[in-house]
């Protein structure tokens, strides 16, 4: 199997700690991965610098393979430095290039500190938008958060709530759902995906008494999807669609804005949730948490979400045939 490429993420965050934890958990069983990072940084596990991804397999049982990319400035736990922003971005683009060249099976990204990258001139709101530019397929990149109990897809992501609501259209909702349904079929092996589409207003608008957006925007999107043969239903009241009884009735929830999707999945499984980008030419996953600057360097970081992200990336790579 080709190795997965794990990016460094924010050097002042917990990326190095959870990478070490993931290697400790997976060294005997896999999946095989290597880390794109500065090999001279302190790690809590044995590290071996490699010159190419092809060297990772021989190293992995005994040490964390690190494709050495030196940082411009030594990192300090909890204190991001804009001087290191170019290295963070280069790790992402380098991992994508290795996948495109067939030398890596997929990309797993450690969390980035968006404010630090923005201050250094990075013009993208986050990983998803940047990956859409450098590894896109002509469709908008879609963020899916996946855990054992729930998959959610926000139609709008990293933007102010007022702007997100103003941008909603039946076409945008339907396009997001189509890309989701295709990924569920082709990569998750679900022959006939079931989609639950959330309403925008309380009680999905209560027949228009709490706003007409669900009637005028969400319902037409669901009708479009059903006319195309996609098993979609909604708009559903957001306050009940994530209950234990409701979740088994669908394969993914199409949510209308960031927090509507992320609050339920992070509440259910913060440690095991995985961020998956749909609509790319490569496999990309990420842990479902941030850089945790407040605990960086303390040894308290939990690698569970990164381990789940690595395992899911390997499954998706096998489904795509890039493993």
127 is in an annotated binding site: yes
284 is in an annotated binding site: yes
- Cα 149–Cα 198–Cα 290 angle in degrees, nearest 5: 55
Nearest to 30 by CA among 65, 61, 59: 61
Dig out the tokens for 260 from the structure. Answer: 């509507």
Three-class secondary structure of residue 202 per DSSP: helix
Cβ–Cβ under 8 Å, residues 154 and 253: no
Separation CA 8–CA 275 (nearest Å)? 16
Share of the chain residues as helix, strand and coil, in percent rounded to the nearest 5: 40, 20, 40
Separation CA 55–CA 32 (nearest Å)? 11
Query: Do the strands 33-37 and 64-68 form a parallel or antiparallel pair, or are they unpaired?
Result: parallel
Q: How many Cα atoms sit within 13 Å of 128 on the Cβ side?
A: 22
124 is in an annotated binding site: no
Burial of residue 246, with CB atoms counted within 10 A of its CB: 0-12 exposed, 13-18 middle, 19 or more buried: middle
Q: How many Cα atoms sit within 13 Å of 137 on the Cβ side?
A: 12
Separation CA 154–CA 258 (nearest Å)? 6
Phi then psi for residue 113, to 5 deg, are -100, 100
258 is in an annotated binding site: yes
- Cα 231–Cα 235–Cα 238 angle in degrees, nearest 5: 115
Neighbours of 239 (CB within 10 A): 12
275 is in an annotated binding site: yes
Annotated binding-site residue numbers for a divalent metal cation: 158, 203, 258
Binding-site positions for substrate:
127-128, 266, 275, 284
- Binding site, annotated residues: 127-128, 158, 203, 258, 266, 275, 284
């Amino acid at each position: 199997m080709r190795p997965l490429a794990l990016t460094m993420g924010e050097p002042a965050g917990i990326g190095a700690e959870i990478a070490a934890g993931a290697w400790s958990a997976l060294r005997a069983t896999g999946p095989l991965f290597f880390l794109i990072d500065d090999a001279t940084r302190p790690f809590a596990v044995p590290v071996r610098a490699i010159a190419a991804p092809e060297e990772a397999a021989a190293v992995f049982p005994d040490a964390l393979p690190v494709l050495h990319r030196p940082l411009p400035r030594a990192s300090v736990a909890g204190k991001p430095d804009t001087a290191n922003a170019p290295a963070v971005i280069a790790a992402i683009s380098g991992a994508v290039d290795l996948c495109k060249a067939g030398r890596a099976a997929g990309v797993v990204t450690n969390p980035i500190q968006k404010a630090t990258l923005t201050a250094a001139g990075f013009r993208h709101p986050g990983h998803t938008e940047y990956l859409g530019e450098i590894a896109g397929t002509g469709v908008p990149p879609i963020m899916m958060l996946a855990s054992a109990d729930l998959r959610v897809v926000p139609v709008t992501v990293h933007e102010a709530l007022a702007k997100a609501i103003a941008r909603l259209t039946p076409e945008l909702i339907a396009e997001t759902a189509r890309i989701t349904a295709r990924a569920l079929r082709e990569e998750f092996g679900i022959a006939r995906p079931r989609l639950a589409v959330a309403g925008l207003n309380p009680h999905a608008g209560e027949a228009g008494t709490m706003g007409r957006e669900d009637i005028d925007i969400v319902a037409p999107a669901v009708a479009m999807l059903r006319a195309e043969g996609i098993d979609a239903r909604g708009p559903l009241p957001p306050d009940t669609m994530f209950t234990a009884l409701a979740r088994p009735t669908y394969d993914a929830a199409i949510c209308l804005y960031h927090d509507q999707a992320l609050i339920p999945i992070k509440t259910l499984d913060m440690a095991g949730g995985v961020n998956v980008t749909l609509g790319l030419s490569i496999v990309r996953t990420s842990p479902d948490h941030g850089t945790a600057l407040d605990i960086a360097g303390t040894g308290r970081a939990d690698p569970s979400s990164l381990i789940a992200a690595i395992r899911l990336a390997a499954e998706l790579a096998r489904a795509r045939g890039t493993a």
